[in-house]
């Protein structure tokens, strides 16, 4: 009976050690999975931010191009009107009478 009383604490300590070891291994495995998913999520977030900034950058460039196109269009519209006026003047200019 005394041998059993002496061995029970050692058995309990061994059992607790094995349980702690299994829990530690499970937590370690879980932590590695979580770290991997965190890394994937971080990379996806960085990629999303990169493409969002590229999208907004292209919007700004497109707006600048629209302004440039409008400026060029206004300039050539004015030039076209001038040329039309000159052509009209040339066509309708009083012709000298031939003798």
3-state helix, strand, coil in the chain (%, to 5): 90, 0, 10
What is the dihedral angle through the alpha carbons of 58, 60, 61, 66, rounded to the nearest 10 degrees?
A: 120
Model confidence, pTM: 0.56
Q: Per-domain residue ranges for the chain?
A: 1-88
pLDDT tens for each residue of the chain, 99 residues long = 777 777 788 888 899 999 999 999 999 999 999 999 999 999 999 999 999 999 999 999 999 999 999 999 999 999 999 999 999 888 888 665 565
Question: What's the token pair of residue 98?
Answer: 């031939």
Q: Give the integer Cα–Cα distance in Å for 36 and 34.
A: 5
């Amino acid at each position: 009976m005394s041998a059993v009383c002496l061995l029970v604490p050692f058995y309990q300590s061994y059992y607790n050690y094995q349980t702690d070891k299994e829990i530690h291994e499970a937590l370690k495995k879980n932590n590695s999975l979580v770290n991997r998913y965190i890394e994937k999520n971080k990379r996806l977030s960085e990629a999303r931010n990169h493409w969002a900034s590229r999208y907004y950058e292209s919007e700004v460039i497109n707006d600048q191009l629209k302004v440039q196109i409008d400026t060029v269009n206004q300039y050539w519209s004015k030039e076209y009107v001038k040329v039309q006026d000159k052509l009209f003047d040339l066509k309708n200019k009083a012709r000298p009478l031939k003798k």
